[in-house]
Copies of this chain bind each other. A is one copy, B any other.
Amino acid sequence: MNPMIEVVYLVKSAPADIAARAEGILLEQAVELPRSVLHDDFVLNHIVGEVRSIVPHTSGEYRVTIAHPAETAGNDPAQLLNVLFGNTSLQPDVLLEDVRLPASVVASLGGPRFGIEGIRKACGVTSGALTSTALKPMGLSVEKLSAICSTFARAGIDLIKDDHGLADHAFCPFEERVRACVDATRRAAQETGRQSLYVPNLIGTPTQVLHQLRFAQGAGVGGVMISPMLLGLPLLREIVESELSVPLLAHPSFGGALRITPEALLGRLFRWFGADAVIYPNYGGRFTYSKETCGRLADLLRQSGDALKPVFPMPAGGIKIERLGETIAFYGSDVMLLIGGSLYEAGEAPDALLERAKLFVAAARK
């Protein structure tokens, strides 16, 4: 039997129409032709999959599970997305809820290079929640951003990343920033004995991003970050397969533009494509992901039953230092807490930011 890719959609439909609608989705996602005009044996036996089940979900909505032969994806990460949600993404009655890949497709994707274990090793922290923060706001000079980086490193924050809006701006050029921030974390390490990971944001066209990757790794960064939905998920796969030598964080920016559940996109696809840690909006902050969604994301990212490495959930977007205990209780210790705004509330007094960052580290280590 062919290995099959199973896709679960939530489809709005009248009861009388759902069988035809499910058949329509099956065909749209592979052959894009009505069944009546399909004559080729190979197409019928190896390309056209089947509707596996249609189950009433909520009123007026059905959970439809469709199976496509793995061959349709052609060992190509971009074509896999095409099969999962290419044309059907343009139809407003359909939400992509979940995806189940056969072991052969999971293996051909390859997943993350480092995962939780690799990031813990890079940070030198074998247990407990990890701490991370972002350098911002966009508009600060290299000098000012690297001074903030130095402060966070001296406070002992494990991972210090660029805000995802830091590009190669004239007022804060990428290479200069990377050199200054790596240097800042190294100097802080001489003082504290602990090396924080500096993680720059890679952004631009694919060739620019690959150039930035080489430069950053050569300069000694502790990891890199990309926004796969801005840059294209296939570029994530290419980076992981080709030259990546440090852990990779994935940022969800631009990811809400598609009608895919956070679980399927951030929880499954980002990890399958190779992210070592996935940033997502935590419950109760500026975004509206529910506590249940966040719990499921963490579970999906930390799973290992599919032979890929478990990766770090990085809840973010409005976590308060004062709420850390609750957050750690919810996620357990295999979590990388990403706090930005709540640190920057420190005020401008000398060492105020350092003291507040130390509070963060102490609360996470408790």
Give chain B residues whose Cβ lies under 8 Å from the Cβ of A137: 30-33, 38, 40, 43, 47
- The answer to whether B42 and A171 touch across the interface, beta carbons within 8 angstroms, is yes
Given contacts A24-B286, A77-B205, A203-B82, whether A231 and B230 have CB atoms under 8 Å apart is no
- The answer to whether B203 and A164 touch across the interface, beta carbons within 8 angstroms, is no
Give chain B residues whose Cβ lies under 8 Å from the Cβ of A91: 256, 286-288
The interface centre, meaning the residue of A86, A205, A255, A341 with most chain B CB atoms within 10 A of its CB, is A205
Please, which residue of chain B has its CB at the minimum distance from the CB of A242? Answer: B207
- The answer to whether A74 and B169 touch across the interface, beta carbons within 8 angstroms, is yes
User: A16 near B: Cβ within 8 Å?
Assistant: no
Specify which of B43, B234, B286, B344 is in contact with A37 (CB 8 Å cutoff): B344
- The answer to whether A235 and B256 touch across the interface, beta carbons within 8 angstroms, is no
- The answer to whether A170 and B32 touch across the interface, beta carbons within 8 angstroms, is no
Interface residues on A, range: 35 or more
Please report the C-alpha to C-alpha distance between residue A193 and residue B153 in the assembled complex, in whole angstroms.
Answer: 71
User: A304 near B: Cβ within 8 Å?
Assistant: no
Give chain B residues whose Cβ lies under 8 Å from the Cβ of A165: 30-32, 72, 79, 82-83, 86
Give chain B residues whose Cβ lies under 8 Å from the Cβ of A235: 205-206, 232, 235
Give chain B residues whose Cβ lies under 8 Å from the Cβ of A89: 253-257
Give chain B residues whose Cβ lies under 8 Å from the Cβ of A287: 90-91
Give chain B residues whose Cβ lies under 8 Å from the Cβ of A90: 252, 255-257, 281, 287
With both chains docked as a complex, state the minimum distance between the C-beta of A68 and any C-beta of chain B, in angstroms: 10
- The answer to whether B257 and A341 touch across the interface, beta carbons within 8 angstroms, is no
With both chains docked as a complex, state the minimum distance between the C-beta of A261 and any C-beta of chain B, in angstroms: 11
Specify which of B164, B232, B256 is in contact with A258 (CB 8 Å cutoff): B256
Give chain B residues whose Cβ lies under 8 Å from the Cβ of A112: none
Given contacts A258-B256, A341-B37, whether A76 and B168 have CB atoms under 8 Å apart is yes
Some 25 contacts from A to B, beta carbons below 8 A apart, are A30-B138, A32-B138, A34-B345, A36-B345, A38-B137, A39-B348, A40-B139, A43-B138, A73-B167, A74-B168, A76-B168, A78-B230, A79-B165, A82-B164, A82-B165, A87-B317, A89-B256, A91-B286, A91-B287, A91-B288, A206-B235, A207-B242, A229-B258, A230-B232, A256-B259
